[in-house]
Amino acid sequence: MKYFRITIVMLLLAASTFAQEVNFYPSNWWVGMTNPKVQVMMHGKDIGKGEINILDYPGVVLDSVHKAENPNYVFIDLLVNAAAKPGNLQINWKQGKTTKKYSFPLGARREGKGKSFAKGVSSEDLIYLLIPDRFSNGDPSNDKIAGLLDQTLNRDSIYHRHGGDLKGIINNLDYLQDLGITALWLLPVWQNNMPDRTEHGYAITNHYKVEPRLGTNEDYEKLGEELHKRGMKLVQDVIYNHTGLYHFFVQDKPMKDWLHEWPAYTQTNYKDQALFDPYASEADKKKLVDGWFTPMMPDLNQQNPFVANFLIQHAIWSVEQFGVDGWRIDTYIYNDLDFMNRCNKALLDEYPNISIFGETWVHGVPNQSFFTANTMGNIPFKSNLPATTDFQTLFYGIQEALTKPFGWTDGVNKLYTTTAQDYLYLDPMKQVIFLDNHDLPRFYSVIGEDTAKYKVALSWLLTFRGVPQLYYGNENLMTGFTNPDGWVRLDFKGGWPGDKENKFISTGRSPKENDIFNHLRTLANFRKTSSAIKTGKLMQYIPEDGVYVYFRYDGNQTVMCVMNTNTTEKTIDTNRFSERTNGFKKGIDIPTGKAYELGGSLNLRPMSMLVLNLGV
C-alpha cells in the first residue's frame, strides 16, 4: 500500500492549487474489483458550478456526473472495467476559463483475499474488544492535536481523552497472542472531531481519516499487518446509522434529505418491537429508525442513494485498504433494514469470507433472530445479516445462571432454555457471545467480585457455541458499573509510562488476578487446538438440581462441560450422559489437569465448572 501513500499526496497537492481545497471520498480505489462501479464524492467550494470530465484512461469510463443541491458537491460515477490497469486517473474540472486537474489513484488490489485478509472471524477465534484510547499509549506526541475541538487530556476524568493509541496496541500484541487471543476488535478508529466525549469513537466526522490522536492511516494499516504476521485478525467497528454532528457533510449537507430531520429534535424510541409487531403503528416504526440516537449523532438517511453509496463504499474501501477480516455493525436495529441487506450483500460479494455481525441490544431470542439470518417464515422482513452480538445468552443465560437461584425457569435453567431457542437462527455457531462490553457493567462486578463464579463464566465463554469475545481487562479482574458508562472504560494499568501497576506482566498482577489470568489463558490456548470446541456440535442436557451439563464434540474429540451453580457440593451420575460418554473411561479437566473417572458418580465442588477432555 506504499503506492497509495504517494499518490494520495499527489491528489491532495493537485487539489490545493484550486482556490478552495477539494477532497475526494473515497480518496482512492482499485482495479479488478468485483463490482466495477465506484461513486466518488467531490467536496469543495463551488465545485458543482464547473464541468467534470476525465482524461482518456483505458478501461475506465465516466458514466455519470451528479450535481448536488449544494454547489459544494459533485458525485461522479466511474466504471473501472476489468481491462483497467493501476495508475492515476486524471479528473478535469472547468468553469469558464478556469481549469483544474486532479489525480485519482487506481491501485492494484491487495493480495490474499480470503486467505491473508478478509478471512472472517469464526467459532475458531477468540475476539478481544478494546477501547484504543484506554488500552496503551505508545506515542505521547499525538495525545493532543492542534486544531481539533476536544483538547482534553486527563486520565483522572472518565470523560476526557487519556492518550491510548494504535502504536500502544501494536506494542502489546505479543501479550494478547500469549493470552490466546486470535482477533482484535477496536472501537471505531475514524476521526471524531467533536467538542467532547471523543474517547469512544462513535461520532465520526471523517470516514477516510484515522483519528489523529490514535495515529495515522498508515498506523492502522501497520496494525493489520502486525496482526496478520501473528496469524491474528482485525475486526472493524462501523456505524451506518448515524454520524457526528460536526461531520463535514452534516455541517455542509450535500442535499436537503441527507439526514433524517424533524420539525423538532426527535430521538429514537429504542423499541425494536415496532419492526415486527403485527399491531405496530407506522409512527412508532418511523421514530425507531429515523429518530436520532442522541442530539450529537444525526441520523443518516440511508434511503438517499448517495448516502447509501457513501457508506457501502467506505466499507469496501476499509477492507481493501487496511486488510480488515471481520465487520461489526453498531446500533444495527436502528438502520433502514433494506439498506442493511444491500450493504451486507455488497460486502460479501466483494469478500465472500469476511464475517459480519451486528449489535442487536434487544430482549428475547425471537427479537434478536429477526435481525439476523433466521428460520422464521411469516415475518415482514428477511435479514441477510450472518450473525449478531448475542445479548440473549448473556442477559437470559450465563448472567441468570450465576446470579439467580435454580428453579423451573430460573437460574441455570434460563441458560438452557435460551440455548434451546437456537433453532430460530440459521447458523447459531456464528453468534458472538460475551460477558460484557463497553456499554455494560463489568461482569466481575455483576457477580459480586466472586472469583469462583468468574471462573465458571470464563469456562462457559470459552467452551460454548458461537464466537467468544472478551472485553479488555477481563483477564485481570477489572471492575465497574455503568453509572455512568465511563467506569467500565478505565485504563488498562501498565499501558502508560510511569503507571504504578503493570497488568501486562505477571509480577504486576495480584495472586488472585494471576489465578484468573492463568485459568483464562489455559482454556484459550486449549481451544486453539480443540476441534470439538472450535467447530464441533453442541449437545445440552436439561439441568438438574442446579447442575448443567453440555458436550462439544465431533468425530475426533469430545469435551464434557459440567457446571455446578450451587453454593454446595453436588454429586451426579455420569451414566445419565452415556449417549455422549460411551467408550470413554476418564476425562482430564483442562484448567487443573486433574483426571476424573467416568461411568459412576462425579463429585462437584460448589460453584465450579469442569471442562473434561474425554479419553480412554
230 vs 56: CA distance, rounded Å = 43
586 vs 488: CA distance, rounded Å = 41
Could you confirm whether 330 is annotated as catalytic?
yes
pLDDT band for 605, please (50, 70, 90 cuts).
Answer: very high
Selecting among 359, 400, 422, 513, the annotated active-site residue is: 359
- pLDDT tens profile 485-524: 999 999 999 999 999 999 999 999 999 999 999 999 999 9
pLDDT above 60 (res 538): yes
What's the half-sphere exposure (Cβ side, CA atoms, 13 Å) at 370?
21
Which segments of 87-162 are extended strands (E)? 87-95, 98-107, 127-130
Nearest Cα neighbor of 356 from 318, 317, 386 is 386
Residue 104, helix vs strand vs coil: strand
Superfamily of domain 127-533 in CATH is Glycosidases (3.20.20.80)
- What pLDDT was estimated at residue 447? 99
Alpha helices, H only, 409-490 = 412-420, 443-446, 451-461
- What pLDDT was estimated at residue 616? 72
Whether residue 105 contacts residue 4, with contact meaning beta carbons closer than 8 Å, is answered with yes
Q: By mean pLDDT, which of 13-17, 71-75, 196-200, 607-611 is the weakest?
A: 13-17
- What pLDDT was estimated at residue 21? 87
**Signed CA dihedral, 407, 408, 411, 412: sign only:** positive
* Higher pLDDT among residues 28 and 18, named by residue: 28
Cα-based angle 421, 447, 127 (whole degrees, multiple of 5): 60
Peptide bond into 86 cis (omega under 30): no
- What pLDDT was estimated at residue 215? 99
- pLDDT tens profile 360-410: 999 999 999 999 999 999 999 999 999 999 999 999 999 999 999 999 999
pLDDT above 50 (res 17): no
Q: Extract the C-alpha cell encoding 588.
A: 482430564
For helices 217-229 and 305-322, what crossing angle results, to 10°?
Answer: 50
Which segments of 387-427 are extended strands (E)? 387-388
- pLDDT tens profile 318-364: 999 999 999 999 999 999 999 999 999 999 999 999 999 999 999 99
Judge if pTM exceeds 0.85.
yes
Whether residue 267 contacts residue 292, with contact meaning beta carbons closer than 8 Å, is answered with yes
- pLDDT tens profile 142-191: 999 999 999 999 999 999 999 999 999 999 999 999 999 999 999 999 99
Whether residue 422 contacts residue 428, with contact meaning beta carbons closer than 8 Å, is answered with yes
Output the average pLDDT for the chain.
96
- Residue that the C-alpha cell 455493525 belongs to: 329
pLDDT above 80 (res 12): no
29 vs 11: CA distance, rounded Å = 12
Could you confirm whether 299 is annotated as catalytic?
no
State which H helix or E strand residue 208 sits in.
Answer: strand 206-210
pLDDT above 90 (res 11): no
* Higher pLDDT among residues 5 and 365, named by residue: 365
State which H helix or E strand residue 347 sits in.
Answer: helix 337-350
- What pLDDT was estimated at residue 3? 37
- Residue that the C-alpha cell 492549487 belongs to: 17
- What pLDDT was estimated at residue 261? 97
Residue 297, helix vs strand vs coil: strand
- What pLDDT was estimated at residue 611? 99
Nearest Cα neighbor of 529 from 550, 556, 549 is 556
pLDDT above 80 (res 10): no
The residues pairing with 98 across neighbouring beta strands, listed in sequence order, are: 95
Distance of CA 451 to the CA centre of its chain: 28
In the 3-class helix/strand/coil scheme, how is 522-567 assigned residue by residue?
HHHHHHHHCHHHHHCEEEECCCECCEEEEEEECCCCEEEEEEECCC
- What pLDDT was estimated at residue 243? 99
412 vs 399: CA distance, rounded Å = 9
The residues pairing with 587 across neighbouring beta strands, listed in sequence order, are: 596, 614
Distance of CA 463 to the CA centre of its chain: 21
> DSSP string covering 56-82, please?
-BTTEEEEEEEE-SSTTEEEEEEEE-T
Cα-based angle 526, 468, 130 (whole degrees, multiple of 5): 110
Looking at domain 2-107, its CATH class is mainly beta
250 vs 261: CA distance, rounded Å = 11
pLDDT band for 592, please (50, 70, 90 cuts).
Answer: very high
Q: Extract the C-alpha cell encoding 329.
A: 455493525
Find the radius of gyration of the CA atoms of the chain.
Answer: 26
Looking at domain 536-615, its CATH class is mainly beta
pLDDT above 60 (res 50): yes
Question: β-strand 233-238 against 326-329: which pairing, if any?
Answer: parallel
Question: β-strand 87-95 against 558-564: which pairing, if any?
Answer: unpaired
Selecting among 165, 199, 330, 513, the annotated active-site residue is: 330
pLDDT band for 20, please (50, 70, 90 cuts).
Answer: low
pLDDT above 90 (res 1): no
Domain ranges within the chain, ordered by starting residue = 2-107, 127-533, 536-615
Whether residue 204 contacts residue 238, with contact meaning beta carbons closer than 8 Å, is answered with no
DSSP state of 296: T
Same fold, 2-107 and 536-615: yes
